[in-house]
Amino acid sequence: MILGALALWEILVRIGLLSPLYFPPPTAVGRRLWELFVDGTYPDHGRVTLSRMGFGLLVGTSLGFLMGVAMGRSAPLRRILDPIIGALYPIPKIAILPLIMIFLGIGESSKLFVIALGAFFPMLISTLTGVIHIPSIYFEVAATYGSGPLALLRRVILPASLPTVLGGFRIALNSAIHITIAVEIVSAVTGLGSLVWFSWETLDVEKLYATLTVIAVLGVVTTHGVNRLSQKLVPWRT
């Protein structure tokens, strides 16, 4: 179906029904994409994007998981933090970038903070949901056998909440990709997002389509990787 759509797109441009100014033919986009790979543009900028996204994702999901476990096990903590989370989560994270830049400056720290924040909330909410729905009998049995906090986390909380946690990780991953590209468009001179913005500024439509294709492939590959990881870690879940 995708190949058919691309072929139709190519034909419509060739016969003049679509303007190449706005819809360059797929062959031209593919040729430009290959050129930018060969000259090192996409590998260099892609590494920058992946490093930003990976660091933010790691920090955000780690803190989100720990906070989700703590809130799931403590009703008083939930009552205190629920209103704060409810107020902060709906705010678009890119909208608070200027505020973060006031405190952390215009360098990498502010970008990484916003990316981590975008990954934090989905992981927190998913982990919290998974821990809350663990049957209380599991904790009672663990307490009977004298399990400490670390054993409880490793033997009960993590296995029982893992399907929900992995679902939250997938959402956090997608959020990290979105925010990384948005941050690079707004305030970076390197990364795939910066290429999108530069392509628009210079009206290089072929490069714009090619860069969006690379970002789409990045999303497909990372999502597929998370799905494969889920199948290995939670094989009983279809």
204 CB-contact burial (10 Å; exposed 0-12 / middle 13-18 / buried 19+): middle
8 Å CB contact between 183 and 94: yes
List Cα–Cα distances, 90 to 8, 9, 63, in angstroms: 40, 38, 19
8 Å CB contact between 226 and 169: yes
Instruction: Kindly report the backbone phi and psi dihedral angles of residue 188, in degrees, each rounded to the nearest multiple of 5, phi listed first.
Output: -130, 155
Output the pTM of the full model.
Answer: 0.88
Domain residue spans of the chain = 26-233
The helix (run of H) or strand (run of E) holding residue 154 is: none
Q: Grade residue 140 by pLDDT with cuts at 50, 70 and 90.
A: confident
List Cα–Cα distances, 85 to 2, 64, 128, 178, 182, in angstroms: 40, 12, 12, 20, 22
Around Cβ 147, how many Cβ atoms within 10 Å?
A: 16
pLDDT in tens, 144-188: 777 777 888 888 888 888 888 988 999 999 999 999 999 999 888
In single-letter form, the type of residue at position 65 comes to F
pLDDT at 142: 78
Q: Grade residue 236 by pLDDT with cuts at 50, 70 and 90.
A: low
pLDDT at 63: 96
pLDDT at 130 over 80: yes
pLDDT at 113: 95
Name the CATH topology of 26-233. Answer: MetI-like fold (1.10.3720)
In single-letter form, the type of residue at position 136 comes to S
In single-letter form, the type of residue at position 190 comes to T
In single-letter form, the type of residue at position 229 comes to L
Of the chain, the percentage scoring pLDDT greater than 70 comes to: 98
Exposure b/e, 3-31, CB count within 10 A at least 16 = b: eeeeeebbeebeeeebeeeebbbbebbee
pLDDT in tens, 67-105: 999 998 888 999 999 999 989 888 888 888 888 988 888
pLDDT in tens, 182-230: 999 988 889 999 999 999 988 899 999 999 999 999 989 988 888 888 7
d(CA 177, CA 185): 12
d(CA 178, CA 192): 11
